Amino acid sequence: MSRQSVARAHQKIQELSWEPAYHEPVSHYGTDYTFQKAKKKDPLKQVLRSYFPMQEEKDHRVYGAEDGAIRGNMFRQVQERWLEWQKLFLSIIPLPEISAARAMPLLFRTVPNPELHNGQAIQMIDEVRHSTIQQNLKRLYMNNYIDPAGFNSSLRNFQSDYCCGTIGRQFAEGFITGDAITAASIYLTIVAETAFTNTLFVAMPAEAAANGDYLLPTVFHSVQSDESRHISNGYATLLMALSDETNHQLLARDLRYAWWNNHRVVDAAIGTFIEYGTKDRRKDRESYAEMWRRWIYDDYYRSYLVPLEKYGLEIPHDLIEEAWNQIWNKGYVHEVAQFFATGWLANYWRIDAMTDKDFEWFEYKYPGWYDRYGKWWENYNRLATPNGHNPIVFEDVDYVYPHRCWTCMVPCLVRARTWWSTRSTASGGPTATRNAGGPTRSRSGRRTRADRPRTWAS
């Protein structure tokens, strides 16, 4: 389709939408936001005639890769440590995807902009596709992996798993619950998709490939390549909301809520998969903290959010700094992994013990890690051999099982004893670098192990 005819078709589609004159439309999904009926440009023009051939091509590549994985005997070569965590991940992720599809109709009535309706309708189809190809991937793992238990029962397990199930559900249902704009726009498109899909759908597939799973990256890059359109939907809606001052307080409230909840849930899950599900312990491979710093702190926070401040967007700087602080100084990801492993007997996936090679990598990437977590993982190794002892959760290994936070559902893992307060001061800390630029540890100018302070406060 030529560019001109795409533009014409795009114009035509908007003429198809109309305001019914024969009845007063009922607003199913309310919002406190106010939108002027202003003409705003669709930021990423897409029409169905050009959309379907493109998606078809992407699907062909996914199914081609699946065929290749079976023929190439990928399932016998993939790292077991990695694929076990996929039993958890692939039981959760199709739900947020289908929730994202269900979120789009919340916006049709609340955002009065036919150009954007087009983008939202296309996003809805995307999200159904994402959910479908991810479930299909899980089915393929189930059929071909040497230990299918956990893949076969993932949906049932997910719904009856008190811990992961409730966290996953409250996260996914956040896209469709409450105020339409809060849920479907701020929580889903502006925070979950724009900030966190980078670690979800880009960093995680890279780790999968490093562990011999080249199928998951094909599927998830097929997903991620749709996100640029979804991010544009969110951005256009955000600009519309910002143009009316009465929305500014709502935006401030919603960004705080959406940011913190996304950080708690996505960083817990993806951080753990990437750091504890991998066998790739190359020193130059980025840690989750390094990826987060690059993709979320620099690319999302500093490049996307901060420039909107001059238009009246109140940014939750304190919560963004605290999220980094949690990851870098308070061991958030390590606490989550330890929690998962403590509860291994209730899980439907196996959690591999950490070896000396892992210890060394953790200590290199997170100096002080061994003092804080090394002993516990040694106990985990010791108790992996059945010889009359109890599962680790019932043994005295200096671990207190946490209660849960009723905001994000994630257990309250970060307690005073996990803080590593000396590190942020010694490294200058992320707060100091926010305006000056540069992560705490730049990729080029990484300090040596010996330079770094290494005392986890206990």
97 binds Fe ion (CB under 5 A): yes
Strand partners, 404: 411
> Whole-number minimum distance, CB 419 to Fe ion, in Å?
35
Scanning 25-33, 41-49, 71-79, 123-131 for contacts with Fe ion by CB under 5 A, the matching segment is 123-131
Which residue, 229 or 423, is less far from Fe ion as judged by CB? 229
Q: How far is the CB of 215 from Fe ion (least distance, A)?
A: 18
Distance in Å, CB of 351 to Fe ion, minimum: 27
How far apart CA 247 and CA 289 sit, in angstroms, is 33
Nearer to Fe ion, 182 or 347 (CB): 182
Segment interacting with Fe ion (CB under 5 A) among 24-32, 127-135, 315-323, 382-390: 127-135
Interactions with Fe ion, residue window 372-391 (CB under 5 A) = none
Which of 87, 230, 365, 454 is the binder for Fe ion (CB under 5 A)?
A: 230
Q: How far is the CB of 223 from Fe ion (least distance, A)?
A: 6
> For residue 292, what are the CA distances in angstroms to 91, 93, 144, 271, 440?
24, 20, 33, 9, 12
Site stretch for Fe ion (CB under 5 A), options 128-136, 204-212, 357-365, 380-388: 128-136
Question: Is 179 one of the binding residues for Fe ion (CB under 5 A)?
Answer: no
Binding residues for Fe ion restricted to 330-369, rule: CB under 5 A: none
Angstrom distance (rounded) from CA 409 to CA 173: 13
- For Fe ion, give the closer residue by CB, 164 or 200: 200
Coil vs helix vs strand at 41: coil
113 — phi, psi (to 5°)? -150, 100
Burial 214-227 (b: 16+ CB within 10 A, else e): bbbbbbbbbbbebb
CA distance 82 to 346: 19
Q: Which is nearer to Fe ion, 90 or 327 (CB)?
A: 90
Nearest distance, CB of residue 174 and Fe ion, angstroms: 14
Which amino acid is residue 401, in one-letter code? Answer: Y
Cβ at position 258, least distance to Fe ion in Å: 15
- Name the token pair of 237: 């809606």
Listed in order, strand segments (DSSP E) in 211-290 are none
Site of interaction with Fe ion (CB under 5 A): 97, 127, 130, 193, 230
